[in-house]
Chain A
Amino acid sequence: MKRKLEVSELIFKILSYVFLTVFAICCLYPFLYAISAAISGREAVEYGQLVLFPKDLQFEAFANMFNNNMFWNSYTNTLFITFYGTLWAMGVAILGAYALSKKRLLFRKGFNFFLVFTMWFSAGLVPQYLNYLNTKEVFNAVGITDDKWLVVIAMGMAAMNIILLRNAFEGVPSEIEEAAIVDGATEFQVLSRVYIPMSKSTIATVALFFAISRWNGYFWARQMISNLNEHPLQVFIRLKLEEFQDPEAMTGWNEAYASDSVIYALIVCSIIPVLIIYPFIQKYFAKGVNMGGVKE
């Protein structure tokens, strides 16, 4: 049975289309502008002639970026940190979460509190900084001089992610585990053959959380990585921005493109890989946000 829309419903419907359209334009515009500005001519960018569509096309800002070794270096470093960082964090988190999910674990409450307390109380930036400095010394003493490993191993662990994994493992029926044990499976086999396959989507979501935080990591990487060649992409972008924000330093700029175009090109380059994998990870993201809502 179709019924006619009431006036108030119609108004609300129109309102929602208008609102969402405006909001979507606001969301999208900065990106479109960034792309336009990256490929527009110097005059158009500097004298504010650009509104949406590119003017006086040029691709030298991108070429400049691609010819810069530091750019590729930082990209490689980011991939390195993201890959190994996620791997390490997932390994630690899965093992810990599995043990915590077992009712027979002694002092289970204590271990849980040990985790949860770090969500309530964090030491803060300065004590963490001092702590990382000490860690760096230890790492150097045992021969790990590449600070990327410090970032990979010491940073980025999150109690929340472990709790999400633990909850997923707790949801696995214990009969299946018992069946596996009867069949002679060891603890590690139970984990790898039963628990991990049965909570695949949570594991994917948590891995995504770790990977995103690694990819986006900036502050600690900048503080702790002393060798400029080891900096990740985010630090590279920021350093370029700081360099180009100084008007005096930019007076000597005599390229055919604006210095702003370089920054915009850099921004576009750093977003593109995320956009490419976005369709594939979107569903895990939506799942993750719903998991985060209600915990335990």
Chain B
Amino acid sequence: MKMKADDYLVYDAGTGKYKEDAEQAVRDDVEKHYWLNVGRAVLKDWRLYLMLIPMILVFLFWRYFPMYELLGCFKVDDSTLDVADQLYAGFSYFKDLFVGNSSLSTEFWAAFRNTFLLSFYGLCFGFPMPIIVALFFNEIRSNIVRSVFQVITYLPKFMSTVVMTSLVTMLVRQASPIAGMEMGVISRFLVELGLISQEVGNAGLLNDPGFFRAIYQISGIWEGAGYDSIVFFAAIIAISPTSYEAAQIDGAGKMAQMKYVVLPSILSTIVIMLINRIGSLLNVGYEKVLLLYNPNTYVTADVVSTFAQRYGIADGLVGIASAAEMLNNIVGMMLVIAANTIARKASDVSLY
């Protein structure tokens, strides 16, 4: 608290005397009784704070308490004890993961690489698709025809992950001579088109590590490209028709119109969605991987979450699994914050 005299006394030119500064006195009073005032405000608006309580409890119990459990990555595994009471293990689990010569370390780095690669390929192939679809939607002048296309292409989004992966599994299933079954129908098409050999098709595409990434991306596009185009399409139809007319009068062909009218208009939307996507680069949908992969494809399919699930939940090696997730989460958080900062600098739009 400030006690300097000049804070209190101001010179009054009218009377030629020093007098107390009323504002400063109030300010000091507020400072002195800060918590008292907080208490008064809370009491006055107690209903408002009561409304916050359920939300805070839900987040505390099931979002923040797990973060506390995450500290298990520094503690020796012991399921009988609380995290706080477990023996301190230091960075030994991290060491095992990062620099160990064991298969564990190799597996972890493969998982980390796969996490990054699956997202990165998603960025390269999955991200542009909705934009392209939206551009094509815009070309269709008839509302009815366009609506039909839209309804059909949004449809796959309404499947759950389980249904989607079940369908994928069935469509590229292996042939099983014992039960006398042929390979899945999509595999059959691919064999007929000469894209894959009969043997590969018979063995099942999901059992071949070489196909996992392709299946993951293609099923992602199948599921989301139509639906994700909504936001881009909304940006495109917001373009005023006069812009096109002006460009046409200037003699712009389709490509020039795309380049000088459409792209600049939807650029901000694209940038926001791109930044959003980069922010969640390490946030691969573990459910989809978990439902599609099997021991044959761990090499290309395993991501950090599924690695942690296998070791932590299935095998009970909590420390190792938590250490892996800790690393993944920290890198992921840095990406989100970086993406958000860039967004704020680049435009006035902040994502969160």
Contacts and interface: CB of A to CB of B under 8 A. Distances in A.
Contacts of B152: 24, 27-28
A121 B67 contact: yes
A235 B290 CA distance: 13
Interface in A196-218: 215-216, 218
Given A13-B139, A295-B352, A234 B286 contact: no
Interface residues on B, range: 35 or more
Nearest to A295: B351
Contacts of A278: 158
B52 interface: yes
Contacts of A191: 51
A93 interface: yes
A114 interface: yes
A260 B172 CA distance: 12
A181 interface: no
Interface in B336-352: 336-337, 349-352
Interface stretch (A56-64, A172-180, A247-255): A247-255
Given A8-B255, A127-B66, A248-B178, A241 B325 contact: no
B181 interface: yes
Contact of B188 (A15, A48, A104): A48
A121 B333 contact: yes
Contact of B63 (A23, A33, A48, A122): A122
B51 A99 contact: yes
Given A267-B163, A270-B160, A218 B329 contact: no
A99 B72 contact: no
A99 B162 contact: no
Name A's interface SS. helix
A123 interface: yes
Contacts of B230: 286, 289-290
A46 interface: yes
Given A9-B254, A23-B153, A130 B309 contact: no
A290 B231 contact: yes
Contacts of A15: 136
A259 B309 CA distance: 30
Contacts of A132: 62
Given A47-B182, A105-B48, A92 B70 contact: no
B185 interface: yes
22 contacts: A13-B139, A23-B133, A24-B152, A27-B155, A28-B152, A48-B185, A99-B49, A114-B59, A116-B352, A121-B330, A123-B69, A125-B309, A127-B68, A134-B65, A135-B61, A157-B62, A157-B63, A216-B160, A238-B162, A253-B179, A285-B154, A290-B234
